[in-house]
A and B are shown apart, each in its own frame.
Chain A
Amino acid sequence: MKHTLSILVNNHPGVMSHVSGLFTRRGYNIDSIAVGVTDNADVSSMTIVLNGDDFIVGQVKNQLLKLPDVLKVQDMAYASSVQRELVLISFSITETNRSEALTICNGFDVKILEITEDSLLIEFSGNSRQVTNVISVIKPFGIREISRTGQIAIAYRNQNAV
């Protein structure tokens, strides 16, 4: 099962290697990792998506908490948090499929960042499934370059609503 861990860490060099090293060393597989500084410049937030049963994820949490630079670890249940990834795609278009491409972009709530004679540069954010979906719809046009972030997440304030 996929788990999303949201981790607060001290924002200083080496923390990334401490955290990622822990995963390789203990044989846990990371699907994605996203890092950014929080409103407090001394603290970064990391979102790690990993595959594993509850036992493995429990072990990961315990081991993470043993790292001195890790301040907090939260296991985000899918239903009670919002999860997002961002993707940038540059893909080919032709005279004939140009309007089809634009229609698709509108339908998916995709932002168009650049249009040229023979290409479109788009931006899309959504949950992991939505992002994968958009990529697969664009793929037949011919993707030239793609850049996709890891997932970030935040728990809903109201945990009872779900």
Chain B
Amino acid sequence: MSSTTEAITGGRLMVELLEEAGVEIVFGYPGGAILPFYDELYHSKKIKHILVRHEQGAIHMAEGYARSTGKLGVCIATSGPGATNLITGLTDAKLDSIPILAITGQVSTDAIGTDAFQEADIFGITIPITKYNALIKKADDLSRHFEEAIKIAMGGRPGPVLLDFPKDVQLEKTTVRKATSLKIAPHHYERPKVKGDPQEFAEALNQAKRPLLYVGGGAINSFASAEIKALAEKANAPVTTTLMGLGAFPGTHPLSVGMLGMHGTAYANKAVLECDYILNLGARFDDRVAKYQDFAPNAVRAHVDIDAAEFNKRINVDYILHGDLKDAIREILPFVKGGDRTSWIDNIQSLKKNHPLDFDNSGDSIKPQDFLHRVYTKTKGEAIVSTDVGQHQMWAAQYYLFDKPNTWLTSGGLGTMGYGLPAAIGAKFGNPDKMVICVTGDGSFQMCIQELATIAQSNLGVKILLFNNNFLGMVRQWQELFYEERFSESQWTYNPNFVKLAEAYGIPAMRIEHKSEIDKGVDFFLKDNGSALIEVMIPAEEKVFPMIPAGKSQQDLIEFKDLGKLKK
């Protein structure tokens, strides 16, 4: 930190604080109320600013960057409409626990509350969707709020924070550049000591004959993959992950049973019914996984989480460890005994054999599952994959196996269509040497499609895999199965020519429709590190299986082979 006591403007101070915090890249969009800050940013040599096409793009890029690097994601918007365009992303980051700092311009303090031009009460609006927010009323307060904001975003269970920065405060001079007092209770930013009895906790696992580990997104946030692997292998326990937890445990590991929940594997969902012990590691018994109190009906339930408010929130548990997941598992491990679980593991293997992921690949049309598998094989499972929301998201979760954390970017909690493309862009900025693929659908793609320009302008090698079924596929699936095929407003009567559209942005593109074109398509798509779009035409009737219908439990799982039964 520079020791100067020379007075500088709030805008200058914000830039210096960001630099000191190690922020290397920010995603943003300027406007009147944030201009003094942008004027200072102009001089920064350490911070790269990515000019986006829509503020929603900026915040999803920050999310993709944060999730794929484990660092803080930063986005900037002007007051009023700029700030309100961040709302979806903030909510998304809150539900998926992604550390984001949003800086918004605000009208000058003397105009606040007067319905001034481009004034929005963004502080009030974002109270329920941020972990912390503040309106900076004087430049002297900036460094304190900044420090609080960053610590809270990154500490404990991560989340989004917002600093609302009035124009006059950006211009006001200050010499205060150290956080003088932190009044926020330390548990909001310090790594708390693990609370609970690890020995008793481990003992319950040791007693189990049929244990199952259930791993959530918290495992990614706590960088606990190595510990989870050690625990699973020592206890000889199969592992299932949530949608958010994919990659926290290697998808190719013999103990992996894949994803749990509504569109999880049949064997993971059946393992939940059969296990006599289930250990939740950084997941939240979300309703897409655990609908009712009878979740894992035969099991002793144990839960490790950094957020105490998650304990017994939806599903009651028998054992609790409160703290950072990595620390907690390290404390449990010495007490865990090997135990012979051969018959349970055999049972799991036969579940896997008898209830595999399945689809009909007999016709001439291209099946998304097959295509994803080809992309998986060709990329050796090493790509970073982002998705939008819908059927393609679930197929990607099922057919691309993730062996490493921070390589799977998806909107889990909020289910935000439009997330995929900007998240991939953010991830590519954070991981320039890795292949980054956005798996999207013809609906979702059009929600943040304007960010194709951001790819072009930075010459970014982002790959776009677009499954076109000319439908809002997931909506159609529900209408087919549960609304007697009344396809109310789910079919597109118009779609643009996506290939030409991509080419208009200078992105090489290709469209394939028949099975015979698959190899050519995959080669085109993955031939180099440059950007590319492949549009894969798929049958509208293709559905995601297995499926647990909404409001039902694991017992009611429908597999591909049950489809006949369902439609009688």
Binding site for B on A (CB under 8 A): 10, 13-14, 17-18, 21-22, 25, 42, 55, 58-59, 62-63, 65-66, 68-71
Interface presence of B173 (CB below 8 A): no
Given contacts A21-B128, A63-B309, A68-B152, contact A14 B185 (CB under 8 A): no
Q: Is the CB of B132 within 8 A of A65?
A: no
CA distance A42 to B309 in the complex (A): 26
B355 at the interface (CB under 8 A from A): no
Encoded as 1 (CB less than 8 Å from any A CB) or 0, chain B from 224 to 244 comes to 000000000000000000000
The 8 Å CB contact of A17, one of B124, B152, B188, is B124
**B313 in contact with A14 (CB, 8 Å):** no
Contacts of B183 in A (CB 8 A): 10, 42, 69, 71
CA distance A69 to B131 in the complex (A): 11
Q: Which of A14, A62, A70 contacts B127 (CB 8 A)?
A: A14
In the complex where A14-B127, A17-B127 touch, is A70 in contact with B309 (Cβ < 8 A)? no
Q: How far is the CA of A18 from the CA of B125 in the complex (A)?
A: 11
Residues from chain B with Cβ under 8 Å of A62 in the complex? 308-309, 311, 313
Tell me how many residue pairs across A and B have CB atoms closer than 8 Å.
Answer: 42
Q: B124 contacts which chain A residues (CB < 8 A)?
A: 17
Give the interface centre of A17, A58, A69 by most chain B CB atoms within 10 Å: A69
Could you tell me if A68 and B123 are in contact, using CB atoms closer than 8 angstroms? Answer: no
B196 CB to closest chain A CB (Å) equals: 16
Cβ-closest chain A residue relative to B310: A62
Cβ contacts under 8 Å, A58 to chain B: 312
| Contact with A68, one of B128, B135, B188, B313 (Cβ below 8 angstroms) | B188
The interface of chain B, by Cβ under 8 A from chain A, is 123-124, 127-128, 131-135, 148, 152, 183-185, 187-188, 307-309, 311-313
Contact assessment for B309 and A66 in the assembled complex, using a CB-CB cutoff below 8 Å: yes
List 28 A-B residue pairs with CB atoms under 8 Å apart, sorted by A's residue number: A10-B183, A14-B123, A14-B133, A14-B134, A14-B135, A17-B124, A17-B127, A18-B127, A21-B127, A22-B128, A25-B128, A55-B312, A58-B312, A59-B309, A59-B313, A63-B309, A65-B187, A65-B308, A66-B309, A68-B131, A68-B148, A68-B152, A68-B184, A68-B185, A68-B188, A69-B184, A70-B185, A71-B185
Shortest 3 CB-CB distances between A and B: which pairs? A62-B309, A68-B184, A68-B188
Chain A nearest CB, measured from B413 CB (Å): 15
Minimum distance in angstroms from B1 CB to a CB of chain A: 24
Kindly state the separation between the CA atoms of A70 and B185 in the bound complex, as whole angstroms: 8
Q: Considering only CB atoms, which chain B residue lies closest to A58 in the complex?
A: B312
Task: Specify the chain A residue showing the minimal Cβ separation from B155.
Answer: A68
Nearest-Cβ distance from residue A103 to partner chain B, whole angstroms:
51
* CB-CB nearest in chain A for B307: A66
Residue of B134, B307, B309 with highest tally of chain A CB at under 10 A: B309
Closest to A69 in B: B184
Q: How far is the CA of A133 from the CA of B308 in the complex (A)?
A: 41
The answer for the CA separation of A77 and B124 in the assembled complex, in Å, is: 33
Q: Which residues does chain A contribute within 8 Å of B127, judged by CB atoms?
A: 14, 17-18, 21
How many angstroms from the CA of A13 to the CA of B121 in the assembled complex? 13
A52 CB, min distance to chain B CBs, angstroms: 15
Least Cβ–Cβ distance between A5 and chain B, in angstroms: 15
Knowing that A14-B133, A66-B307 are A-B contacts, what are 20 other residue pairs whose CB atoms are under 8 Å apart, sorted by A's residue number? A10-B183, A14-B127, A14-B134, A17-B124, A17-B127, A21-B128, A22-B128, A58-B312, A59-B313, A62-B309, A62-B311, A63-B309, A65-B187, A65-B308, A66-B309, A68-B152, A68-B185, A69-B184, A70-B185, A71-B185
> Within 8 Å CB of A10, what residues of B?
183-184
Distance A18 CA – B128 CA, assembled complex (angstroms): 8
Q: What's the Cα separation between A58 and B316 when bound, in Å?
A: 13
Chain B: minimal CB distance from A68 (Å): 5
- The CA of A66 and the CA of B307, in the complex, are separated in Å by 8
Q: Point out the residues of chain B lying under 8 angstroms from A55, CB to CB.
A: 312
| Cα distance, A25 to B309, chains bound together (Å) | 16
- Nearest B-chain residue to A13, judged by Cβ: B135
Which residues from A are CB-within-8-Å of B184?
10, 68-69
Shortest CB distance A70–B (Å): 7
Q: How far is the CA of A22 from the CA of B131 in the complex (A)?
A: 12
Contact of A65 among B135, B152, B309, B313 (CB under 8 A): B309
Given the complex of chains A and B, what is the CA–CA distance between A69 and B134 in angstroms? Answer: 11
Considering the complex, give the chain A residue whose CB is closest to the CB of B134: A14
Across-interface contacts of A68 in B (CB, < 8 A): 131-132, 148, 152, 184-185, 188
- B309: which A residues are within 8 A, CB to CB? 59, 62-63, 65-66
Complexed CA–CA distance, A14 and B125 (Å): 11
Q: Closest approach, in angstroms, between the C-beta of B190 and any C-beta of chain A? A: 12
Contacts of B152 in A (CB 8 A): 68
Minimal beta-carbon separation of B76 from chain A (angstroms)? 21
Distance in angstroms between the alpha carbons of A8 and B123 in the assembled complex: 22
Distance in angstroms between the alpha carbons of A21 and B130 in the assembled complex: 12
Shortest distance from the beta carbon of A156 to any chain B beta carbon, whole Å: 25
User: Chain B's nearest CB lies how many Å from the CB of A40?
Assistant: 10
A65 to B124, CA, bound (A): 20
